[in-house]
Amino acid sequence: MKARTPRTELKTFVTARARGKSLSLKELASRAEVSQAQLLEILDGQRELDIALGFKIAREIRVSPVQLCRMAGKEAEALDAFAERFRRCAQRVPEFARKVDDTLTVEEAFAE
């Protein structure tokens, strides 16, 4: 039996999620604005996953971008990018930031 590596797990995960959303890898690549060949190179571990592309793929297969990037070994960069997006959103919509803060406060109270 072939050993599973993080990249084979990424490929298996993305392929299964795409199928679950009735997307072929060709359609997924098109929606993520990348060629099918480039997507396959990323999934096969021949090319690094760009964070912006990771966010696009995650959006199309409906998973957390941080989860997807973690599987590709890019967790720290994904968290930084996610935090930056949050900061930009919070600047545009202050009510959004307040709701997130309220939610985190409630979650912290239950965690104790």
What per-residue confidence (pLDDT) applies to 107?
55
What per-residue confidence (pLDDT) applies to 23?
94
Specify the higher pLDDT residue, 93 or 1. Answer: 93
Q: 6-111, superfamily in CATH?
A: lambda repressor-like DNA-binding domains (1.10.260.40)
Tell which phi-psi region holds residue 22, choosing left (phi > 0), alpha (psi between -120 and 50) or beta.
left
**Does the model's pTM come out above 0.75?**
no
Tens-place pLDDT, residues 38-72: 999 999 889 988 888 988 999 999 998 888 888 88
What per-residue confidence (pLDDT) applies to 1?
47
Where do the structural domains in the chain lie, given as residue ranges? 6-111
**Token duo for residue 26:** 């060709």
Cβ 63 vs Cβ 72: under 8 Å? no
**Token duo for residue 100:** 């997130």
